[in-house]
Structure 1
Amino acid sequence: MRNLLAVRPAISESWRRSESAGVDVDVEAAPLVFDRDVLADARIAHPLDPHLPMLEGLLRHVADETEHLMVITDDGGHVLWTQVPPGVRRAADRIGLTEGSRWSEDVVGTNGIGLALATGRPEFVYAAEHVAHVLHRWSCAAAPITDPDSGMVIGCIDVSATVEALHPATVALVSAAARLAESRLENEMRQRDELLRERLLPHLRGLREPGVLVTATGRIIGAGPGEPGLAGWRGRRVPLPESGGTVTLPDGRAAVAEPLGEAYLLRPPVVRARRGPRAGALAPGRAPAPPATGEGPLLTLSFLGDGRPHARLDGGPLTLSLRHAEILALLALHPRGLTGDRLAFCLYGDDGSPATVRPEIHRLRQQFGDIVRARPYRLDCAVEADFLTVRRLLDDGDVAGAVRLCTGELLPGSDAPAICAERDELAVRVRRQALDRGGADALWTYAQTEPGRSDLEALERLSAVLPPGDSRLAAVVSRSDRLLNDDV
């Protein structure tokens, strides 16, 4: 261990981490861990990809005029983009400062990129402060970039140069660039929030009981009328449980999390000061009355996964048979409605007839009321369905969000022809986009689904993008080996 008394605390702590990771001071270069295809996928999947022109424009004159290198990495220290002046390209290549290489502390020891990612702060590493001897003629300034939606560090901006060329004040430049990137990400986040509020809040206003609207990342973005404390809560985070679980609101109350596609409604329990049965109480499985405000009811469908399909109408849970779930899914997929002949074909194929459908529609209308319309058959309410949300996220290019929400197949117990076709199409789209544009986290989430667990191509791609020290890598390699041995 070197003498730690004469160095900054951040550097001495980084040296300790590097030593614990077994970094060799004689390492010659950062390893190249992404091939061309994996690098292209990682770039497309990264949140900074749309903002690259802005960052390049901001830092281009620094790289061009001062022989400095500009580097942008992901959260694992993988270099995704660089701007390298011709005069220093050969020297940069020798130390592995190239696209696809990895610059985390556990691989090359103390360096600006690895240190900034480890501390979550802008950092400057000068000459011999690097662990690797080959880096002693280099200095670098780096700043992490935090995703305002998730609160997680998603990457790093670094400017590197030889010792005599880089001034410590460069850290202010990369810090400004990182803050600008974060402001762009925040603008995107606020636009998504506003779209969610526009779509969902009108229906929350119709609820008799207040509720809090929360994003899939746990940020509070809205509430129904009568919910106290919203002004001080907006932007705060709550840890979200599984659907139907409880979460603690900022004022200490417990609330139940109800999925609304891309968001959750946290509904605190209402204490009623009455004895005996509530007047007008609904029988089990019957729909609640329409909301008092006339905004229109909100039907929420959760049909993905192996669990029992369930629905909520304005928050009230409804028991569904598989056949009724199939009908609701088909009507949700066809908001303009289906004729009796068409609905029968979707459910039964050539053997179906309108006479077979009518009794099912009658029973469904008994349970859901007049939101189930006829001529054509359709749903006269707003619908938030998990399978529709996955489709919308895929259309918008939000692969991570789609994979996170798509926890299983659409109504896996159904053999209705139209449901089977939609199930297969959705599965193919999720898999293809996870492979092509998903990134490590989205691929890992996909690999935990039933089809993903036995998808050798997805596992091989995942093993290529996960960093060497990632705790998930052993499971991926083990599962891949097992699948390969089973095929022998």
Structure 2
Amino acid sequence: MNVTELAAVDAPRAARVLSAVRDDALSGRRPRPAPRPVIEESWGRMLRSGVDPDHDFRSGLLSPEEIQRRREDSPLRHVLPVLREGLVSVADTARHIMVIADADGRVLWREGSSAVLRKADGLGFLPGADWREDVVGTNGVGTPAVVRRPVQVFAAEHFVRSHASWTCAGAPVTDPRDGRLIGVVDVSGPLETMHPATLAWVDSVAKLAEARLRDLHLTALERLRAVAAPVLARLGGRALAVDREGWTAAVTGMPYTSRIALPKALSPGRRPLPGLGPCLVEPLAEGWLVRPADEPLPSGATRIVLDLGNPRRWTVTVSGGAGSWTHELSPRHSELLFLLAEHRAGRTAAQLAADVFGDPRRTVTVRAEMSRVRRYLGGLLEHRPYRFCDAAEIEVVVPDEPSGLLPFSEAPAVLRARAASPPP
């Protein structure tokens, strides 16, 4: 019986065997039985990189603001329901926790058994902690990120001695569009919770998350294609519609390419793009219209109409020389865009927090919401401070009666505007 089989029936005895194996390996002796290849290779990396097996090194935690920023930037936020449904309920019953880390090995989410969460606190397995393999040794977050496949780490297979009372199984989650690592999902718990089927369970849920990300990508391209089709039909010539990351939704008059390289901070206008040269760039809902610069520039300035006239439905419509598109707004986004239209010079995150919540300290929430707004308005919104771009014409449609302005809102700035006559 190998150690893995032994662990399934007698976890304490398997842990003692692995402890002796680990001691032999660290002492330079040939361990018997030999560790599993994935663990032996990881231990070799740890010895070469100088990780101390007898001291639990803990890097500084990320600030709450940075954790929130990374959560908002992480594609894994879109598949949290899949991960929770597949892992958390079972993990809680089985005295495990689910941990989700980003591609840098930083813990972003933890859920599950409250008793196990407290044990994880004692190991420094906290939100914002750095669990890269070359920082904390062989583990169920950092090691799968290195080898790019699911790994279970049991007891003394952890390189750092203080983690030997723990068992974990982690699987990498990759971007289905390009294979890029976007994070690791891990199920961890005390030694006695080890089960040989845990790794297959975690891996299957990670693959479900990847499939969901693929579906979301294709659905988003379909939405963009529906907006772009009439625009491309009117324009003629050469043009393509791409999402915010450059993935192509529609193309006309030029060879199809699945993706074009876009600069991180793209704004409307004449811009050089890799592989295409000088291009004319205009915003589309959740994407961009891109035309080679030798095509005639569409006439007409970009116009943004914020329609708050209907007490139950609020929209933003963007129109320009290439056509127009409309996006329905949530109540919170309606408030934020109304305030930016009222303050064309811009508002800082603290000012918007005071305007919406009456508390200038709630900047994390404001930044998260503005990040969502910028996904569909893109370069039409500037930041530092947040504001509409100077080149856009802004129109706000409000109800005839000031009391009808965003009637759901209790934001202090909206209450002041609602009390005014006539409304802004």
Aligned residue number for residue 275 of structure 1: none
Q: Alpha carbons of 1:435 and 1:10: their partners in 2 closer, same or farther (altered >3 Å)?
A: farther
Aligned residue number for residue 402 of structure 2: none
Q: In 2, distance between residues paired with 1:102 and 1:238?
A: 33
Q: Does 1:80 align with 2:108?
A: yes
Structure 2 residue matching 1:15: 3-state secondary structure: helix
Is the contact between residue 82 and residue 208 of structure 2 (CA under 8 Å) also seen in structure 1? Answer: no
Q: In 2, distance between residues paired with 1:42 and 1:439?
A: 14
**Length, aligned pairs only:** 319
- After the TM superposition, which residues 424-439 of structure 1 pair with which residues of structure 2 at under 5 Å, given as runs? 424-425=346-347, 436-437=367-368
- After the TM superposition, which residues 148-227 of structure 1 pair with which residues of structure 2 at under 5 Å, given as runs? 148=176, 152-224=180-252, 226-227=253-254
1:422 alignment partner AA: R
1:109 shift after superposition: 1.4
Q: Alpha carbons of 1:334 and 1:66: their partners in 2 closer, same or farther (altered >3 Å)?
A: closer
Structure 2 residue matching 1:172: 3-state secondary structure: helix
1:438 shift after superposition: 8.5
Q: Does 1:25 align with 2:50?
A: no
1:334 shift after superposition: 4.5
Q: In 1, distance between residues paired with 2:187 and 2:282?
A: 43
1:244 paired residue among 266, 271, 288: 271
Is the contact between residue 61 and residue 128 of structure 2 (CA under 8 Å) also seen in structure 1? Answer: yes
1:4 shift after superposition: 10
1:156 shift after superposition: 1.7
Aligned residue number for residue 56 of structure 1: 84
Q: TM-score, normalised by structure 1?
A: 0.52
Aligned residue number for residue 135 of structure 1: 163
Aligned residue number for residue 259 of structure 1: 281
Q: In 1, distance between residues paired with 2:319 and 2:198?
A: 59
Q: Alpha carbons of 1:425 and 1:163: their partners in 2 closer, same or farther (altered >3 Å)?
A: closer
1:65 paired residue among 93, 114, 117: 93
Structure 2 residue matching 1:24: 3-state secondary structure: coil
2:156 alignment partner AA: A
1:157 shift after superposition: 1.0
1:267 shift after superposition: 4.9
Q: Does 1:94 align with 2:117?
A: no
- After the TM superposition, which residues 395-414 of structure 1 pair with which residues of structure 2 at under 5 Å, given as runs? 395=333
Aligned residue number for residue 143 of structure 2: 115
Q: In 1, distance between residues paired with 2:147 and 2:56?
A: 25
Q: TM-score, normalised by structure 2?
A: 0.59
Q: In 1, distance between residues paired with 2:106 and 2:273?
A: 37
Is the contact between residue 278 and residue 292 of structure 2 (CA under 8 Å) also seen in structure 1? Answer: yes
Structure 2 residue matching 1:156: 3-state secondary structure: strand
Aligned residue number for residue 344 of structure 2: 422
Q: In 2, distance between residues paired with 1:245 and 1:66?
A: 55
Identity across the alignment (%):
32
Q: Alpha carbons of 1:137 and 1:438: their partners in 2 closer, same or farther (altered >3 Å)?
A: farther
1:259 alignment partner AA: V
1:222 shift after superposition: 1.4
1:158 shift after superposition: 0.4
2:212 alignment partner AA: R
Aligned residue number for residue 106 of structure 1: 134
Q: In 1, distance between residues paired with 2:215 and 2:57?
A: 38
Q: Alpha carbons of 1:438 and 1:450: their partners in 2 closer, same or farther (altered >3 Å)?
A: closer
Q: Alpha carbons of 1:217 and 1:172: their partners in 2 closer, same or farther (altered >3 Å)?
A: same
Structure 2 residue matching 1:424: 3-state secondary structure: coil
2:109 alignment partner AA: W
Q: In 1, distance between residues paired with 2:319 and 2:77?
A: 39
1:159 shift after superposition: 1.0
1:202 alignment partner AA: P
Q: Which has the higher strand share?
A: 2
Q: Alpha carbons of 1:396 and 1:137: their partners in 2 closer, same or farther (altered >3 Å)?
A: farther
Q: Gapped runs of 5+ residues in structure 1? A: 249-253, 271-286, 289-311, 319-324, 337-377, 398-417, 441-448, 453-488
Q: Gapped runs of 5+ residues in structure 2? A: 1-24, 308-317, 354-361, 372-381, 386-424
1:185 alignment partner AA: L
Q: In 2, distance between residues paired with 1:433 and 1:382?
A: 36
Structure 1 residue matching 2:234: 3-state secondary structure: coil
- After the TM superposition, which residues 327-338 of structure 1 pair with which residues of structure 2 at under 5 Å, given as runs? 328=301, 332-334=303-305
Q: In 2, distance between residues paired with 1:335 and 1:86?
A: 45
2:346 alignment partner AA: D
Q: In 1, distance between residues paired with 2:237 and 2:29?
A: 60
Q: In 1, distance between residues paired with 2:37 and 2:279?
A: 43
